Chains A and B, each alone.
Chain A
């Protein structure tokens, strides 16, 4: 916890200090005339990055959770093969391809990135929620039915609480994935911490690339660190990360 807070504080200080460190960037990249990134404030980029990632995770959580609940009901059994096949198809399409395909339909900006983020973040949520709901012992459900509980109450009071740890693990994966993938969205014009990387690459300004890359990577590390805090020690080591798509 202290480690995380320290890291976060250091990150924020570094964000505030970056535009004032002209001498450092100048020394590292002597050939570049404008080594300091000053087109946008780093905090504005951070805020947009987080809003995009959190918003996408929220939508993805709603979609993934409702799909998982549907697929684990007796009536929704037919949905299972579809979820499996969607999952394996999505593995074959890298997020940058999904963003690029959405671009002509939705135009430059945050929209194509948001769509791709929702699609990719919904999958781990769905997977883990299905696994969690499946793992609820049949005997428990029988006992609940025996006491006269209806299907709605069983879901709300028995199944979801029992599946919660697994669902939470899926949500964590989704959020880390979203924070990492948002950076790629800069290619399609989404404003985020990846923007200096893409702008720098386009202008041959390695100093901007380095600054953007450091902060993007740093944020991802902090997010991962924060989300591991809630995990129990056993999980924390083996972490239940699903095959990462990037």
Chain B
């Protein structure tokens, strides 16, 4: 993650060719492939029941599906045309979101059509075409945003909004993914909140350790060397091994002091997961905090000291306000990592969305795996986008 040099590079190159931005070709190719993907790889597959493997079916032709399909193709064309002008890249992103939502609508409506008159255990699932098209559209939107901040915020926000509207309108209710989600509504909600709690708890714990240590390390180089060595050292250890290593000692601790079990501390459960995740967050947090606290140049700090400001006042009035943007960048990296790492917590009984993923792996049930993975990806994209916006706001205020 070194966004600055890339951004500088983009800015200069953009100036050279303001008419057709260099993103245009990549966006056009990706979007064209996205438009073709469902036609080549299929829209919908239907299985007589949950256990039999699904077969591709032709797209049922009704007014609604034709309209939505037309909208999808028009939106794809719009993405390609809008991306040819640098100032319109934001609109190209919005058009990509429209394309994505209309394709999902096509498949949702087609599923309803295909299942009419079929037995109630029949399942309709999107074929590979939808997933490939979604991936390509997301990449195209990413290309549109590559020159700006790297995260296609407009695309993400509009897609989430559009999909929520489709869901609320009941257009997706006949897809097997939606049926599985309905059947497991409570389980998914619980896993979602557990996941947030795991990631949030780990982030909070890591912040509580990294912030004071960074402040201390600012003055004492030996503390800094030790902090960075420890934080770096943990990065090397694979997460699954660290979780495993933490289980034994925590189980022993709980056996030695059974009262701790009441707090949820034991070898199995959220405690080793939160502890394990937070150790990986130390490096991004501590290095960004130290870099942020050093944004204020030594000359400025000296001048402030000369004016008689105390160290506390220098910290509050100079170091923190000036370095806040850089520090938020570290929180951004850490938040995304925490959400990803929390997926593995389910392995050691910590719950979270990973529990759905591992259950899906055990049953080789694609729907279940997707129900676990999609929210994780959405969460980390949202966390990344949200933190990026916060970071931009903090840097602008400076």
Contacts and interface: CB of A to CB of B under 8 A. Distances in A.
A183 B232 CA distance: 19
Categorize the interface residue count of chain A: 35 or more
A109 to B, nearest CB: 12
Contacts of B240: 183-184, 186, 194, 197-198, 213, 216
Interface string B243-267: 1110110010000000000000001
A184 B244 CA distance: 12
23 contacts: A77-B22, A80-B26, A81-B26, A85-B141, A91-B384, A92-B377, A92-B381, A96-B357, A100-B373, A103-B364, A104-B369, A179-B238, A181-B238, A183-B240, A188-B361, A206-B251, A206-B267, A213-B243, A216-B238, A217-B241, A217-B242, A217-B245, A221-B236
Interface stretch (B44-52, B110-118, B304-312, B341-349): B341-349
Interface in B313-348: 333, 336-337, 340-341, 343-344, 347-348
A212 B25 contact: no
Interface of A: 28, 77-82, 84-86, 88-89, 91-94, 96-97, 100-101, 103-104, 108, 176, 179-181, 183-184, 186-188, 194, 197-198, 200-201, 206, 209-210, 212-214, 216-217, 220-221, 224, 239, 241-246
Contacts of B1: 91, 242-243
A94 B376 contact: yes
A42 B346 CA distance: 26
Nearest to A77: B22
A55 B109 CA distance: 44
B361 A82 contact: no
Interface of B: 1, 6, 22-27, 29-30, 138-143, 145-147, 150-152, 232, 235-245, 247-248, 251, 267, 280, 284, 333, 336-337, 340-341, 343-344, 347-348, 354, 357-358, 360-361, 364, 366, 369-370, 372-373, 376-377, 380-381, 384
A220 B150 contact: no
A80 B239 CA distance: 32
Given A89-B138, A206-B267, 6 more contacts: A82-B26, A85-B152, A92-B381, A217-B237, A220-B236, A221-B237
Given A194-B240, A212-B241, A221-B237, A243 B343 contact: no
B247 A100 contact: no
B245 A213 contact: yes
Given A96-B343, A206-B251, A243-B1, A220 B241 contact: yes
B348 to A, nearest CB: 7
A97 B242 contact: no
Contact of B139 (A86, A176, A221): A86
A198 B241 CA distance: 10
Nearest to A112: B361
Contacts of A183: 238, 240-241
Contacts of A216: 238, 240-241, 244
Contact of B22 (A81, A86, A88, A213): A81
Contacts of B347: 187, 198, 201
B146 A81 contact: yes
A187 B236 contact: no
B124 to A, nearest CB: 17
A88 B142 contact: yes
Given A84-B146, A104-B366, A187-B347, A210 B244 contact: yes
A224 B236 contact: yes
